[in-house]
Amino acid sequence: MRVRVIEPKEKTLKKRKTCAYARVSTDSEKQGESLENQVSYYENLITSNPKYEFIGVFADQGITGTTENRPEFQKMLEFCRQGKIDLIITKSISRFARNTTVMLQTVRELKEIGVEVRFEKENINTLSGDGELMLTVLSSFAEEESRSVSENIKWRYHKKFKNGELVINTNRFLGYDKDENGDLIINEKEASIVRRIFQEYLSGKGTFKIAKLFNQEGIPTVTGSKWNETTILAVLKNEKYKGDAILQKTFIMNHLNKLKKKNIGQLDSYYIEENHPVIIPKEMWDKVQNEIKNRAEAKGIYAGTNKYQNRYQLTGLLYCNKCKATLRRRTWNSKHACRKIVWQCSNYIKNGKDACTGISIDDETISKVNIQEPTFVEEVIKNGKKHYSYTRKGEQDKSSSGINNTEKENGSLLQGINRPIRTVIKL
């Protein structure tokens, strides 16, 4: 018997397509240098390893890790889905994502397509057996740290507000700059635009005409965008131009979504008089506020009422049975052939599905119902199709047994429509 030795052939290992992800949370000069150093470090780390093929460094600046709205991060994920990346190297869990849910969803998606994420600080490899368990624990700590930082920032701002200290970004605020001490000083070039807006308005022009005029003349907004009615009105109503300041007009709901909400009594606000140099004299500012009020009332809009009130026959008469908010008339697909007018829950429109799952009904359908007084509209799915029932607002607390008594006695409410559901569902 003869035994022949088969020598192993040298196997050429395929290089792993490797990238890095870096992030800093502010646009400050110091953080900018930190990001630049991270990019340089990872480029050298990957290119010096013969097992790696350098794909690039994806870096986001001035963006929090609690949100998924990170351009470079999303670009990197798209590269992974296209098979262009095998390995992602990042400094730590908190740099990759502070939101535990986002972290685990992303890592699991990448794991499914065979992409490894390596966290240097925690020494975790997501493709290893205990990788996900360690990630769950550590990313929870990262999220809690983010929450704690957010609460500390809120407390610091709250203390500043109580002391009457302004926190204003003049890059998004027309008419003022800040001096070396952080105090507001007038920017004369921008202030002249503010003065003209007030003068044009008092001369009789509306916000739409002023915006159109400024766009035609090429006058820039503070952000470089186009002028519109809302922008002009915001300038006219801004108390800072008369030297006063309202602090804490908005607030952030939570540390995860970072969404700003208008403060309409949820938190304390602070009014500071004669805080900084005046662009618009108080008398002129007050005159403009009266003019805004008078023009609104001339259109049938009064303080504390919805600006859409009385614009259409059914405005103010239709209510969502889910959240009791009014229905607002809207046009869907306004620029397309499938254009449709509907009445939709105003709470859903303004605050999204977290506030109300919403209800919508075609204008053509609701117009066939002879509604003369406030009425709740209920959407019912029957055999896969939408049907609607209607209950007078004043009847909602009465007995719900059988058919609505008011409908029995007076059929005017439902006159002129052949509804599949003939009983009024009580709320």
**Are residues 259 and 334 located together in one domain of the fold?**
no
Q: Are strands 260-262 and 245-247 parallel, antiparallel or unpaired?
A: unpaired
Do 337 and 394 belong to one domain? yes
Poorest-confidence range of 112-116, 119-123, 128-132, 311-315?
A: 128-132
- Is 5 contained in some domain? no
Give the pairing type, strands 87-90 and 245-247.
Answer: unpaired
Same structural domain for residues 192 and 136? no
Q: What is the pLDDT of residues 145-157, one digit of tens each?
A: 556 655 555 555 5
User: Could you give the 3-state DSSP secondary structure of residue 187?
Assistant: coil
CA 168 – CA 170 distance, rounded (Å): 6
What integer is the mean pLDDT of 26-42?
74
Residue 26: which residues within 8 A CB-CB, separation 6 or more?
61, 62
Same domain, 20 and 141: yes
- pLDDT surpassing 70 at residue 190: yes
Higher pLDDT, 64 or 369: 369
Instruction: State residue 102's pLDDT score.
Output: 74
Q: What is the CATH number of the domain that holds 21?
A: 3.40.50.1390
Tell me how crowded residue 250 is: count the other CB atoms within 10 A of its CB: 11
372 versus 395: which is more confidently predicted?
A: 372
Dihedral, CA atoms, 95, 98, 99, 100, nearest 10 degrees? 90
List the single range of 124-128, 170-174, 214-218, 379-383 with lowest mean pLDDT: 170-174
pLDDT digits (tens, 9 = 90+) for 77-87: 999 999 999 99
Domain shared by 197 and 285, yes or no: yes
Please indicate, yes or no, whether the overall pTM of this predicted structure exceeds 0.85: no
Q: Would you state the pLDDT for residue 56?
A: 94
State mean pLDDT over 60-76: 76
Pair of tokens at residue 282: 């108080």
| 309 within 8 A of 315, measured Cβ to Cβ | yes
pLDDT at residue 396 tops 70:
no
Q: Is a pLDDT exceeding 80 seen at residue 248?
A: no
Assigned domain for 157 exists = no
Domain CATH number, residue 220: 3.90.1750.20
- The single-letter code of the amino acid at 282 is K
The verdict on residue 420 lying in a domain is no
What pLDDT was estimated at residue 52? 95
| Of the ranges 24-33, 248-257, 337-346, the best mean pLDDT one | 337-346
Domain coverage including residue 343:
318-414
Strand ranges for 122-226 from DSSP E: 124-125, 176-178, 184-186
Domain co-membership, 287 together with 235: yes
Report pLDDT digits (tens) over 324-352. Answer: 889 988 888 766 667 788 899 988 888 88
Q: Does residue 178 register a pLDDT over 70?
A: yes
Short-list 339, 343, 341, 340, CA closest to 390:
343
Tokens of 149: 């930082």
Count: domains in the chain: 3
Phi then psi for 326, rounded to 5 degrees? -75, 155
Q: Which pLDDT score, from 0 to 100, does residue 143 have? A: 56
Domain presence at residue 6: no
Alpha-carbon span 22 to 6, nearest angstrom:
48
Residue 21 forms part of a structural domain: yes
Q: Does 261 share its domain with 328?
A: no
Question: What's the pLDDT at 103?
Answer: 77
Judged against a pLDDT cut of 90, whether residue 18 lies above it is answered with yes
Spatial separation of the C-alpha atoms in residues 256 and 65, rounded to whole Å: 9
Task: Look over the chain and give the mean of its residue pLDDT values, rounded to a whole number.
Answer: 76
C-alpha–C-alpha distance, residues 370 and 382, integer Å: 23
pLDDT exceeds 60 at position 123 = yes
pLDDT at 411 over 70: no
In this predicted structure, what is the pLDDT of residue 192? 94
Give how far the C-alpha of residue 189 lies from the chain's centroid of Cα atoms, to the nearest Å: 32
Using DSSP bridges, classify how beta strands 318-320 and 327-332 pair: parallel, antiparallel or unpaired: unpaired
Tell me what the mean pLDDT of segment 129-152 comes to.
59
Out of 137-146, 160-169, 233-242, 257-266, the most confident range is 233-242
- Single out the residue of 249, 250, 251, 252 nearest to residue 66, CA to CA: 252
What percent of the chain shows pLDDT beyond 70? 66
pLDDT recorded at residue 332: 82
